[in-house]
Amino acid sequence: MYTGRGEWESVFGRARAVIEAVRFHLASHTSYYGTGNYLMTEVEKSRAEIRKIHERRALSPKVTSCIERRDGLEWVKPSNAPRDVAHVASLLAGYTAELEYHLRDHDTVWASQVERAFLHLNHTLFVDKCVRARWSRAFVQREEECEKLGALHLLSHGIWAFKAHGLRERTDLILGTRIVNPSTRARRAVDVLTRTE
C-alpha cells in the first residue's frame, strides 16, 4: 500500500495553511473583495490534490473509503459569505484529520515501540552489571520472575504486557493477579497492550 508521507505532508501542510487563513479572515471581521473567493479556490485545490493522489496511487481501503465518502459531501457553496467559507474550511479540516489518522500505520508504530524496548533492554544488560545480575538471578529462579522483569521494562516504554491463559483469562505479569477488566486508567497509561502465552 502506498503511504507516500512526503506527498501527503505537502497536501496536509497546504490544507492547514488554508484553514489558518480562513481563521484569520473570519477573526478580522473585514470583508475584502475577493478574499472569500480566493479561500474557496484554495480549499478546492486541496481537495483536487487529494483526488489526484487517489487516482494515481493504490491506497489502503480505509483511506480510499474516506476519500470517496468525504469527496461526495456538499462542498460547493453558492456564495463566498464568511459562514460558507467557514463551512468548507471545517469540512477540509475534518477530511484531512481523518485521512491523517488512516494513513498512520499503527501496527508499525507499535511494533517499533516493542523493538525499541527490547533494544534498550539488550543494551542495558550489556552495559549495567547490576541489571544483568538481577536478570541472571531471575533466569535461574523461574520463568515468572523473568516475565515480571520483562513486563516492568516494557511498561516503562508504554507497553502493558499480560499473560493469556484461555479465552478470557488474563494475568498481570508484574502483580501476578487476574485481570478482569483493564481499568480505563491503565488503558490510558499505555500505548500498546501485548500478551504472552
User: For position 1, what pLDDT does the model report?
Assistant: 44
Show which of 71, 103, 135 is a domain's final residue.
Answer: 103
Show which of 52, 79, 103 is a domain's final residue.
Answer: 103
User: For position 3, what pLDDT does the model report?
Assistant: 52
Does the pLDDT value for residue 111 go beyond 50?
yes
Q: Are residues 80 and 131 in the same domain?
A: no
Q: Are residues 152 and 174 in the same domain?
A: yes
Q: Are residues 159 and 173 in the same domain?
A: yes
Q: Are residues 76 and 126 in the same domain?
A: no
Q: Are residues 9 and 99 in the same domain?
A: yes
Show which of 80, 103, 126 is a domain's final residue.
Answer: 103
DSSP state of 174: T
Q: Are residues 117 and 97 in the same domain?
A: no
Q: Are residues 80 and 138 in the same domain?
A: no
Q: Which residues pair with 195 in a beta bridge?
A: 162
* Cβ atoms of 28 and 68 closer than 8 Å: no
Does the pLDDT value for residue 61 go beyond 60?
yes
The C-alpha atoms of residue 36 and residue 20 are separated, in whole angstroms, by 13
The C-alpha atoms of residue 45 and residue 77 are separated, in whole angstroms, by 15
Write out the residue range of the structural domain in which residue 81 sits: 5-103
Does the pLDDT value for residue 186 go beyond 70?
no
- For the stretch 62-90, pLDDT in tens is 888 889 888 877 776 667 788 888 888 89
Stated pTM of the model = 0.53
pLDDT-derived band at 159 (thresholds 50, 70, 90) equals: confident
- Residue 177 C-alpha cell reads as 493477579
User: For position 106, what pLDDT does the model report?
Assistant: 64
* Cβ atoms of 112 and 138 closer than 8 Å: no
Does the pLDDT value for residue 177 go beyond 70?
no
Q: Are residues 65 and 126 in the same domain?
A: no
Domain count, the chain: 2
